[in-house]
Amino acid sequence: MTDIARDGPSRAERLSGTRHRRVATAPVATAQRRAILAALAESPAFLTAQALHDRLVASGHQVALTTVYRALRIYADLGDINRTRAADGTVLFRYGPDSDHRHYLRCRDCGYSVPVDSDPVEAWVARLAARHEFTDVDPAIEVLGICWSCRSQDGDPAP
């Protein structure tokens, strides 16, 4: 992710017809961004930006929802957090500063998630992409269910 002070080419670039590639810079770790990352790290479940914002406000932080969205985008692009989509398309976030691409088995009731070994699926996706001459493939795999805790709260016996 880049923090860029200006949008579009400079006057000199417009006049010369050239445009230089923008240089990515590390985002400034403001107090608000640190609070957002810390609040996300405290949750074992994936959260929406709105739910994270609500937690921050409830704990006394003054932070705008747009700031939460911006910070989450930056941290996700840097690989400090993971993002996935709920069944309704809502983007969910979870702290996970590892460099590996991960997939999760996620509870559709409470959001609790467990990382799963997705190497066989990743290999299948790579073969599929190669066979059909696709590049830059990003598998969006959702594995949803109901965790044991939610199931036992609903009266179903645990396995």
Beta bridge partners of 18: none
Among 67, 79, 83, 82, residue whose Cα is nearest residue 30: 67
Q: What is the spatial distance between Cα 91 and Cα 111, in angstroms, rounded to a whole number?
A: 12
pLDDT value of position 14: 46
Domain boundaries, the chain: 1-98, 100-159
What number is the average pLDDT over the span 137-159? Answer: 76
User: Which phi and psi angles does 53 have, rounded to 5°?
Assistant: -60, -45
Candidate CATH numbers 3.20.20.70, 3.30.1490.190, 3.40.50.300, 3.90.800.10; the one for domain 100-159? 3.30.1490.190
Residue 27's closest CA among 4, 50, 51? Answer: 4
Please report, rounded to a whole number, the percentage of residues in the chain having pLDDT higher than 70. Answer: 75
Over 50: is that where the pLDDT of 105 sits? yes
Give the contacts of 106 (CB within 8 A, at least 6 positions apart): 46, 84, 112, 113, 114, 142, 143, 144, 145
Is the pLDDT at 149 greater than 80? The verdict is yes
Q: What is the mean pLDDT of residues 62-79?
A: 90
CATH architecture of 1-98: Orthogonal Bundle (1.10)
Q: What is the mean pLDDT of the chain?
A: 77
Q: What's the pLDDT band for 156 if we cut at 50, 70, 90?
A: low
pLDDT at position 35 is 92
Q: By C-alpha distance, which of 73, 2, 60 is closest to 31? A: 60
Distance of alpha carbon 30 from the chain centroid: 19
Q: Provide the pLDDT confidence category of residue 129 given band limits of 50, 70 and 90.
A: very high
Percent of the chain with pLDDT over 90: 25
Of 118 and 40, more confident: 40
Do residues 93 and 47 make contact, with C-beta atoms less than 8 angstroms apart? yes
User: pTM of the full predicted structure?
Assistant: 0.56
Q: Which helix (H) or strand (E) holds 76?
A: helix 65-78
